[in-house]
A and B are shown apart, each in its own frame.
Chain A
Amino acid sequence: QKEVEQDPGPLSVPEGAIVSLNCTYSNSAFQYFMWYRQYSRKGPELLMYTYSSGNKEDGRFTAQVDKSSKYISLFIRDSQPSDSATYLCAMKAGNQFYFGTGTSLTVIP
């Protein structure tokens, strides 16, 4: 079993939809949780960084962490075509990082 599981998609939604991206994990030592956005042929860009259970909001993005269920989510409200990218979840325990495989998202105008 992988440390971090992420559905690769692809996920296709109409513009304006609410998008839900999810990752599950098995290691209870993970303390820090991140979401990155990667456009084609670009490096990943940090979107959200959280270290506790609960919600963190930044504009149209909300990161949710449920440590009891070992489950994290990223919600995108009012999705735009510019949100079309691959979204990577990442987790950290100590100085070790673990990445999901990424979910490919396409927002259709």
Chain B
Amino acid sequence: GAVVSQHPSWVICKSGTSVKIECRSLDFQATTMFWYRQFPKQSLMLMATSNEGSKATYEQGVEKDKFLINHASLTLSTLTVTSAHPEDSSFYICSAGTGAVTDTQYFGPGTRLTVL
């Protein structure tokens, strides 16, 4: 149980284009979803937290107009990187939880984004 999928697993795009990454909870209802960014050999960096049906809460320094997050249902959240540039190249990982105080986070497999 507690499986989270991400799609695509990797994507290469040209500078200036937008890229959408999907995160799905396959066997539970994810009230809360998190989006992380990770650079090589570095730790997870939380970008934003989203609750189903509400606007995402972004961490300090993360541009909400550049990283659009939508959590439209209890099983799907999307991250859109708008007007991507080479510095946006990174490993993006989502995680999901039921939102219960006793619950933990279950991570997706990650999406590697390369912007040329």
A92-B101 Cα distance, complex, nearest whole Å: 9
Interface check B106, CB cutoff 8 A: yes
State in angstroms the CA–CA spacing of A34 and B97 once bound together. 14
Interface majority SS on B: helix, strand, loop or mixed?
loop
Contact surface of B with A, Cβ cutoff 8 Å? 2, 4, 6, 32, 34, 41, 43-44, 91, 93, 95, 99, 101-102, 104-110, 112
**Interface of chain A: mostly helix, strand, loop or mixed:** strand
Contact A44 B32 (CB under 8 A): no
Top 8 closest pairs, chain A to chain B, by CB: A43-B107, A101-B43, A43-B110, A44-B107, A43-B109, A43-B93, A43-B108, A49-B104
Q: Considering only CB atoms and an 8 Å cut-off, how many residues of chain A contact the other chain?
A: 22
Count A-B contacts at CB 8 Å: 47
Chain A residues closer than 8 Å to B101, beta-carbon distance: 94-95
Residues on B with beta carbons closer than 8 Å to the beta carbon of A60: none
Whether B104 and A34, one on each chain, are in contact in the complex, defined by CB atoms closer than 8 angstroms, is yes
Is A46 touching B104 in the complex (CB atoms < 8 A)? yes
Report which A residues bind B (CB closer than 8 A): 32, 34, 36, 41-46, 49, 51, 88, 90, 92, 94-95, 97, 99-102, 104
> How far is B13's CA from A56's CA once the two chains are assembled, in angstroms?
45
Q: Tell me, in angstroms, the Cα distance from A52 to B39 when the chains sit together.
A: 33
**Which residues of chain A are near B43, meaning CB under 8 Å?**
88, 99-102
